[in-house]
Amino acid sequence: MVASNSVIFSIFISGLMSGVVAHPPSQWCKDNEAEKVYNRATMGPEFLPRDGVDMIDYDFDGARNWYISGKDWSSRRYELWKVTADGSDRTDLLHDKADSIAVKADGSGIFAIVDDKIALYSTSGRGIIEVVQSSSHRQRWAGLYYDDSEKVLYASDSANDKIYSFVKGGWGWKSDVVIYGQGHGSKELDEPAAIRKLGKTLYIVQTGGRYNSVVSWDIGSSHRNFEYNFGPTGEFGIEVLDEYIFYRDHSDSVYRRKLDSPYGKSELVVGGCGAGSRMNQITNAGTGALRGFSCDLIVWDYTWKNKVREEPSRSGLAGKEFVPHWLAVVCLLAIISVGVAVYRKFRHLEKSHLL
């Protein structure tokens, strides 16, 4: 999708609507307008190319630095670049098309699929650190997910309906097939793309049918747990946060569903107020990319630029940041829990020292 500016809106969601609602009440749209805007004016001129960008994928490290893969409208070149959290500095990482990216939380490297090759790249602009998997005419890599806690990279092979794991060893990267789609029904995996993970379960976007679909599949199992009855927009149109799966629905909405509820009700959390440039609207999902960061859900949005800004009236890229109250409470409890654990450890060390 094409963009000439980028903004991120920070919105606190005061309520969630049950079911898939085509036309939510006006109060919903009023209560869920954007509160904060990030664009070239607020983030600086290095945030996105001046004349526009076809966005492919994006991610964040633990310091909330941005990593964006897209095509610069003015140069007509594909780029992968990093922008610091405050927008003050940009680093070009790659002058090529990165079909999917996954950055390490510590910012020490970023995995990218380039020309059907998976490699780890420097985040300071020094190029390839090492090749994880060389390109092959037998495979077509589509999506990446990196588990920082387990130090495992997951990659989807859409040509062979497989999910691989890659683990760093003394002599390179060891690969294993952790999910293999075979046959039909519960054993079928159809052109997998985006991957998300919670515990020992992967959530995978399938792109092989008339419409995209999502399956829940335990790592190492010969069959999936279930297939959800919704179809996300775009090959990267899902995210997993807490006990929910979020998904892009058409061009103007994002919904959430309980992870263990394949046929349950979905709840509107973003948009649903028509497609346009207003602060409560999102439009044109593109790849559908969704990203969670801490207690936030980051949603890219393609809007129309305001002609009053004396800039060309092109379709513009926007990211909208949502902090649902229910998720903020969960994160607050997690912070309190960590604080208690740190305090107990400190007291234990203090007592040991006294003894």
What CATH number is given to the structural domain containing 194?
Answer: 2.120.10.30
The whole-chain average pLDDT of the chain stands at 80
Give percent of the chain above pLDDT 70.
Answer: 75
What is the model's pLDDT at position 341? 45
pLDDT surpassing 60 at residue 306: no
What is the model's pLDDT at position 275? 74
pLDDT digits (tens, 9 = 90+) for 111-120: 999 999 999 9
Alpha-carbon gap, residue 161 to 113, rounded angstroms: 17
| Bigger pLDDT: 258 vs 23 | 258
If asked whether residues 31 and 159 sit together in one domain, one would say: yes
Alpha-carbon gap, residue 321 to 299, rounded angstroms: 6
CA angle 112–115–119, rounded 5-degree value: 35
What is the model's pLDDT at position 309? 22
Select the highest-mean-pLDDT range: 150-154, 239-243, 331-335: 150-154
Find, among 287, 172, 171, 301, the residue nearest to 236 by Cα.
287
If asked whether residues 152 and 218 sit together in one domain, one would say: yes
Work out how many domains the chain is built from and give that number.
2
Give percent of the chain above pLDDT 90.
Answer: 53
pLDDT surpassing 80 at residue 138: yes
Count other Cβ atoms within 10 Å, centred on residue 202: 26
CA contacts within 13 A on the Cβ side of 334: 9
CA 271 to chain centre: 18
* 314: its two tokens: 């092109």
Mean pLDDT value of segment 196-207? 97
Mean pLDDT value of segment 23-42? 70
pLDDT surpassing 80 at residue 23: no
What is the model's pLDDT at position 337? 42
If asked whether residues 77 and 131 sit together in one domain, one would say: yes
If asked whether residues 316 and 336 sit together in one domain, one would say: no
Domain that holds residue 334: 325-355
| 34 band by pLDDT with thresholds 50, 70 and 90 | low
Q: What is the identity of the amino acid at 129?
A: I
If asked whether residues 7 and 31 sit together in one domain, one would say: yes
Alpha-carbon gap, residue 278 to 26, rounded angstroms: 13
If asked whether residues 50 and 121 sit together in one domain, one would say: yes
If asked whether residues 306 and 352 sit together in one domain, one would say: no
C-alpha separations of 84 from 45, 53, 166 in Å: 12, 18, 28
If asked whether residues 214 and 334 sit together in one domain, one would say: no
pLDDT surpassing 90 at residue 148: yes
If asked whether residues 186 and 306 sit together in one domain, one would say: yes
Q: What's the whole-model pTM score?
A: 0.83
What is the model's pLDDT at position 305? 36
| Bigger pLDDT: 263 vs 299 | 263
| Bigger pLDDT: 253 vs 23 | 253
If asked whether residues 268 and 338 sit together in one domain, one would say: no
Going by the DSSP 8-state scheme, the letter that residue 186 receives in this structure is: G
Helix or strand run (H / E) with residue 314:
none
Count other Cβ atoms within 10 Å, centred on residue 256: 23
| 8 band by pLDDT with thresholds 50, 70 and 90 | very low
Mean pLDDT value of segment 34-47? 73
Residues contacting 100, CB < 8 A, separation 6+: 56, 57, 69, 112, 113, 141, 142, 143, 144, 194, 236
pLDDT surpassing 80 at residue 332: no
3-state helix/strand/coil string of 101-138: EEECCCCCCEEEEECCEEEEECCCCCCEEEEEECCCCC
If asked whether residues 298 and 333 sit together in one domain, one would say: no
pLDDT digits (tens, 9 = 90+) for 44-95: 888 888 877 788 999 999 999 999 999 888 899 999 999 999 999 999 999 9
pLDDT surpassing 60 at residue 331: no
If asked whether residues 15 and 101 sit together in one domain, one would say: yes
Pick the range with the lowest mean pLDDT from 53-57, 205-209, 297-301, 343-347.
343-347
